[in-house]
Amino acid sequence: MAKMRLKYKRILLKLSGEALQGKRGFGIDPVEVRDIAKRIKKVHNLGIEIAVVIGAGNIYRGGHESKKGIDRITADYMGMLATILNAVALQDALEKLNTPTRVLTAIEVKEIAEPFIKRRAVRHLEKGRIVIIAGGTGNPYFTTDTAAALRANEIGAQVLVKATKVNGVYTSDPVKNKNAKRLSKLSYLEVIKNKLKVMDLTAVSLCMENDLPIIVLSMKIPGNIANAVKGKNVGTIIS
Ligand code: GTP
């Protein structure tokens, strides 16, 4: 294979739980998971080391449920457990495509996955395995975006790629306003000051303190992640 110029060699991909639900609107749709796995595999084939952090919104929304009466901490732990279901589903889909994958969890479920140990995660990446990191940070009160920022820093990822429904940050909601313009660049402070809802503040501050760029993009656009790792202008880069 011809040597390709890559801007980033190790990335952390943050997927929302909703990405796995497909048209069902809830739970895990195997067709959708297979599609996501194929897209991840394509990026992996470029020789990029990939760690993935998945949310759980397709199964359980901790923050949301706690507002309806369930204890906040209990709800957060339920959300963390739900990320493990998503992680195992994605592992299954990736391994069916012959892509070696390891699931590492912040909450121990040793019969199902390895515990998250930073050195192990890095070693798996070096050996060409996709590492899916589940269970959030293992602590309540933190979102999976924050878990993604934390893990990206820990494993020495050069970029945090946040895959969402829209392809980046826009001047207004692109679904409602067709004149909305995509912002190709933003600073961390602009995101924080303007309370842009791309990521929560804890996640953004953690990236800012450690100079970790964030790229917000849509995975639905073919080749988007590959183009981002090649340094092309895709989605919005926050740095
Ligand atoms: P290397 O030692 O770097 O080659 O990594 P490896 O993951 O291939 O080796 P290891 O012998 O540690 O693991 C073999 C298999 O067991 C892999 O599929 C691991 O994901 C799995 N495994 C390792 N530790 C645990 C654990 O604590 N729980 C579970 N459920 N699986 C584990």
In a domain? residue 5: no
Structural domain boundaries enclosing 56: 10-238
Among 187, 221, 236, 214, which Cα is nearest to 13's? Answer: 214
In a domain? residue 102: yes
Q: Ligand 1 centre and the CA of 151: distance in Å?
A: 19
What's the total number of domains in the chain?
1
Q: What is the pLDDT of residues 190-223, one digit of tens each?
A: 999 988 889 999 999 999 999 999 999 999 999 9
DSSP letter (8 states) at residue 45:
T
Q: What is the pLDDT of residues 109-158, one digit of tens each?
A: 999 999 999 999 999 999 999 999 999 999 999 999 999 999 999 999 99
In a domain? residue 141: yes
Pocket residues for ligand 1 (CB within 6 Å)?
102, 110-114, 123, 127
Q: Ligand 1 centre and the CA of 209: distance in Å?
A: 33
Among 16, 33, 11, which Cα is nearest to 82's? Answer: 16
Read off the CATH number of the domain in which 60 is found: 3.40.1160.10
Please say whether the beta carbons of 125 and 113 come within 8 A: no
Residue partners of 210: CB distance under 8 A and separation at least 6: 153
Nearest CA to ligand 1 atom 27: 114
In a domain? residue 2: no
Nearest CA to ligand 1 atom 10: 114
Nearest CA to ligand 1 atom 17: 102
Which residue among 95, 101, 102, 119 has the greatest number of ligand 1 atoms within 8 angstroms of its CB, and so is best to mutate? 102
In a domain? residue 1: no
In a domain? residue 4: no
In a domain? residue 121: yes
Residue 122 burial by CB count (10 A; 0-12/13-18/19+): exposed, middle or buried?
middle
Single-letter code of the amino acid located at 190: E
In a domain? residue 156: yes
Q: What's the predicted TM-score (pTM) here?
A: 0.94
Mean pLDDT over all residues of the chain?
A: 94
